[in-house]
Amino acid sequence: MAVIKKSLVWICYLLGLLALPQFFDSVLAISIFNQMAIAIVFALSYNMLLGQGGMLSFGHAVYFGLGGFLAVHALVMIEFEILSFSIIWIPLVGGFIGLLAALFIGTFSTHKAGTVFAMISLGIGELIAASSLIFVSFFGGEAGISGDRTFGPSFFGIEWFQNLEIYYLAVAWVFIATLFMYFFTLTPAGKMANAVRDNPERAEFIGYSARRVRYITFCAAGFFAGVAGGLFALNYEFITEENLNAATSGRVLLSAYIGGLGYFIGPIIGAVVLTLMNSLLSNYSDLWMLYLGIMFLLTVLFLPRGFAGFIMMHQMVWAQGKIKSLVLPYLLTGVPSFIFVIASVGLIELSHTDEAEFNYLGLNFDSTTAIDFILISIAVLAALFCIRKSLPQLRAAWESANEISDDDEKEAQS
């Protein structure tokens, strides 16, 4: 039964991915979907490392970037007929390079988890990013290198001119990669990775080398990061130093963390949310990175298990059928919170704008006089007051919903 249920989820995932362009078929939408596909694989590989293996990395973009660079080089070689294979295998080239890099770097970086690993990953990341600007013939300097995906043996007559064709190719790879990463969590190696993350000492006592377990996880994560890099190369047909530097490493950490580490679905949520923010929000406001930073800090402070963790918190309440009792308290806190966010964003944007007439959510504000500032500030403070007032009753409702009543206990005992 459970197997059927799980396969159903996977089939829905695949069908959902395939059906997306049917609903949104603009050029912009397709390019966003492609970015999402890449981000999902990359974030999942990061989750493998941090969520599953407990290794906090500040240099995961190295494997993504190296895979991408080699993939673009492979595209160039196909163009000049040095190599001859269909470009559908390019992500595999990227993955292979990511794996090779991880095989080498892992030999000395997986010795310890925690701070030492984080520092080595940071050092390696900076080292490779700085070297990429020095070795111009391979990395192309600041301009990067570019290729052309339309050469090579054709694949059932598809020429890969359009982004939509690449999207379907990416879907195939994303699905396969997701499936394999999920299978990895079920293997003994995947389970041991969890054990080593939680308590390396105990894992050593029952006869496992914590270092080797970490090494295996690290290499697998490097491989899938490389696959994501290969997908990036196929989608954009160019790659620059920016794709392997600390900023990219930071972004993948953000997306995996916001989505929820440790839950398989978490990084997928995070990757989707971040891509949407990146591509949609950036059209409306050049402050979107500020909002991202605030959102990230709030997540770390209040939702340490991310969005996925927040959803999973309700599992027990759901199972007990008490979710209804939470609807009203959630609304009472949620509505003022929503107003608070909207009004705060309005205040930030209003104080940042250069224009005298400022349009926000269909309302016109005048940024030259103080009166509009005061009005929005009052809205912010009022919403904050409502949140503070309604929070205790939400907490009480949450506790009573999570309480296991005497009847339930008796049922469980009998």
With binding defined as CB under 8 A, does residue 123 bind other proteins?
A: yes
Please identify which residue in the block is written with the tokens 């005992």. 413
With binding defined as CB under 8 A, does residue 126 bind other proteins?
A: yes
* Chosen residue from 53, 54, 306, 346 binding other proteins by CB under 8 A: 54
Helix (H) or strand (E) holding 365: strand 363-366
The conformational region for residue 152 under phi > 0 = left, psi -120 to 50 = alpha, else beta, is left
Touching other proteins, residues 254-273 (CB under 8 A): 254, 257
Widest distance between CA atoms in the chain? 75
Size, binding site for other proteins by CB under 8 A = 43
Q: Min. distance of Cβ 169 from other proteins in angstroms? A: 31
With binding defined as CB under 8 A, does residue 287 bind other proteins?
A: yes
Q: Min. distance of Cβ 123 from other proteins in angstroms? A: 4
With binding defined as CB under 8 A, does residue 138 bind other proteins?
A: yes
AA identity, residue 256: A
With binding defined as CB under 8 A, does residue 312 bind other proteins?
A: no
* Chosen residue from 4, 5, 22, 115 binding other proteins by CB under 8 A: 115
With binding defined as CB under 8 A, does residue 338 bind other proteins?
A: no
Q: Min. distance of Cβ 155 from other proteins in angstroms? A: 31
Touching other proteins, residues 352-381 (CB under 8 A): 352
- With 0-12 CB in 10 A as exposed, 13-18 as middle and 19+ as buried, what is 348? middle
Q: Two tokens at 85?
A: 């294979």
Q: Min. distance of Cβ 325 from other proteins in angstroms? A: 28
With binding defined as CB under 8 A, does residue 309 bind other proteins?
A: no
Is-contact 238 145, C-beta < 8 A?
yes
Q: Two tokens at 285?
A: 């406001």
Q: Residue 268: name the closest of 197, 141, 383, 179 by CA.
A: 179
- Angle at which helix 90-109 crosses helix 114-134, to 10 degrees, equals 130
SS3 content of the chain, % helix, strand, coil (to 5): 75, 5, 20
With binding defined as CB under 8 A, does residue 296 bind other proteins?
A: yes
Task: Catalog residues that contact other proteins under the rule CB under 8 A.
Answer: 50, 54, 56, 58, 108, 111-112, 114-116, 118-120, 122-124, 126-127, 130-131, 134-138, 246, 250, 253-254, 257, 287, 289-290, 292-294, 296-297, 300-301, 304, 348, 352
